[in-house]
């Protein structure tokens, strides 16, 4: 219910494109190869535009899942990495410790 309305409204890709329109009346076709030619030399107008294309539904879903997955990875990976030292410290605190012979006999008798 959320995916398809989002795709209808946001399913476009905006690719930045720079368009240049040049005045060709002063264009010299025979230029020495060693000279540097810029757009300013030919009075070119530069205008930033966007190429708008419709994105395929599968591409849109894959992109959303990738963004969601990376955000989960960015959040839970540090949390899990912080859990390692505390978990190992807790396991060290409750580790089995060697018993003295009289304590071992006592616990053996209790189990029997």
CB atoms within 10 A of CB 68: 10
| Alpha carbons 107 and 96: distance in angstroms, whole number | 14
CA-wise closest residue to 60 among 99, 108, 103, 5: 5
pLDDT tens digits, the chain, 112 residues: what are they? 778 888 888 888 888 998 877 776 666 666 667 777 665 556 777 888 888 888 888 988 998 899 999 999 998 888 878 888 888 999 999 998 899 999 999 999 999 8
pTM here is 0.45
20 and 39 Cβ atoms separated by less than 8 Å = yes
**Helix (H) and strand (E) counts for the chain?**
3, 2
pLDDT at 24: 65
């Amino acid at each position: 219910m959320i995916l398809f309305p989002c795709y209808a409204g946001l399913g476009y890709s905006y690719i930045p494109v720079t368009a240049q329109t040049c005045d060709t009346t002063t264009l010299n076709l025979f230029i020495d190869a060693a000279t540097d030619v810029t757009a300013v030399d030919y009075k070119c107008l530069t205008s930033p535009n966007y190429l708008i294309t419709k994105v395929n539904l599968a591409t849109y879903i894959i992109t959303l899942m990738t963004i969601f997955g990376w955000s989960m990875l960015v959040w839970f990976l540090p949390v899990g990495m912080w859990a390692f030292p505390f978990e190992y410290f807790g396991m060290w605190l409750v580790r089995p410790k060697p018993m003295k012979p009289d304590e071992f006999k006592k616990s053996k008798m209790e189990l029997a």
